[in-house]
Amino acid sequence: MDIEHKQLVQLLPLLPLLAELGRTEHVTETAELLGVPQSTVSRALARASAVVGTELLIREGRGVRLTPAARTLLPYIEAALAEFQAGLDVVRHESDVVRGRIAVTFQHTFGEATLPLLMSAFRSRHPSTAFELSQGARAACLELLIAGDADFALTAPVAAPGRNLDSAALYREPLRLVVHHRHPVARRPSVRLAELKHEPFVSMGPGFGLRSLTDAIFRDAGFRPRVAFESQDSHTIRGLVSAGLGYSILPPGGLGPGPQGVLDSTDLGWVEVSLDSELAYREIGITWRERRKEPDPVRLFRELVLSEGPGLLAGLVRARSGTQ
> pLDDT tens digits, residue range 235-264?
899 999 999 999 999 998 765 556 776 777
- Among 115-124, 191-200, 242-251, 263-272, the range scoring the smallest mean pLDDT is 263-272
- pLDDT digit string (tens) for 45-69? 778 777 777 887 777 766 667 788 8
Which pLDDT score is estimated for 324?
A: 43
Residues 168-179 have a mean pLDDT of 94
Q: What angle do CA 191, 252, 124 make, to 5 degrees?
A: 160
Which pLDDT score is estimated for 27?
A: 74
Cα–Cα distance between 122 and 101 in angstroms, integer? 12
Cα–Cα distance between 47 and 37 in angstroms, integer? 16
Residues 183-199 have a mean pLDDT of 94
Which pLDDT score is estimated for 166?
A: 94
Q: Are 285 and 156 spatial neighbours (Cβ–Cβ below 8 Å)?
A: yes
Beta strand 152-155 with 281-289 is antiparallel
Q: How many other β-carbons are positioned within 10 Å of the β-carbon of residue 77? A: 18
Residues 214-221 have a mean pLDDT of 95
Cα–Cα distance between 244 and 200 in angstroms, integer? 10
Give me the chain's average pLDDT, please.
84
Largest CA distance in the chain: 106
Query: What confidence category does residue 2 fall into, taking pLDDT thresholds of 50, 70 and 90?
Result: low
Residues 97-107 have a mean pLDDT of 82
Q: Phi first, then psi: what are they for 112, rounded to 5°?
A: -80, -35
- Asked whether residue 155 carries a pLDDT value surpassing 80, the answer given is yes
Among the listed residues 160, 107, 132, 134, the one whose alpha carbon sits nearest the alpha carbon of residue 287: 160
Beta strand 130-135 with 190-191 is unpaired
Q: How far is CA 88 from CA 18, 82, 92, in A?
A: 20, 10, 6
Which pLDDT score is estimated for 279?
A: 95
Residues 22-40 have a mean pLDDT of 74
Which pLDDT score is estimated for 86?
A: 74
Beta strands across the sheet bearing 281-289: 130-135, 101-106, 152-155, 281-289, 165-174
Helix 38-52, helix 15-24: angle, nearest 10? 110
Q: What angle do CA 109, 111, 112 make, to 5 degrees?
A: 85
Cα–Cα distance between 240 and 180 in angstroms, integer? 9
- The pTM for the full model equals 0.64
Q: How far is CA 323 from CA 34, 60, 133, 315, 316, in A?
A: 68, 85, 31, 10, 10
- Better-predicted residue by pLDDT, 158 or 80: 158
